[in-house]
Amino acid sequence: MEPDCRAKLYELNAESVWVEMGLANVEVTQIEAAGGDCIRVRGDDGADLLVSKVRHDDFNNYQRKESIITWTELSDLSPSAGAAESSTARDLALSFETSSGCDCIWEALAGGQGG
């Protein structure tokens, strides 16, 4: 992993305020259990802060401005007994320490979309 692929992870809360979730190392990697490429955000202690499946079929979901990448993560929830199947969405952002770190991750995201 590139040493400059460090970023702060943010999540947009219900009040439309970006909440910092931590500073971490970021990589785009294949995770078989998740069914493909994922954005993996790991804290300095090695624990995953986020594993988000990359949606190459909906690449327009990912936005980049300077050293920030934003996207909406959709999570399909398995229905509990008697409940209907549903999905939730959350807005996430990575603010990179360096533009080269952002470049590295953006190129990895774009690489799997076939163009």
pLDDT values of the chain reduced to their tens digit, one per residue, 115 residues: 454 799 999 999 999 999 999 999 999 999 888 888 999 999 999 999 999 999 888 888 999 999 999 999 987 544 444 445 556 889 999 999 999 999 999 999 988 654 3
3-state SS assignment for residue 76: strand
What is residue 10's predicted lDDT score, i.e. its pLDDT? 98
Q: Considering only CA atoms, which of 6, 9, 49, 44 is closest in space to residue 27?
A: 6
Longest dimension (CA), the chain: 49
- Count of residues in the chain: 115
* Structural contact between residues 66 and 40, judged by C-beta atoms closer than 8 angstroms: no
Beta partners for 89?
74
CA distance linking residue 50 with residue 94, whole number of Å: 11
CA distance linking residue 62 with residue 85, whole number of Å: 25
Thinking of the domain 6-75+89-111, which architecture would CATH place it in? Roll (2.30)
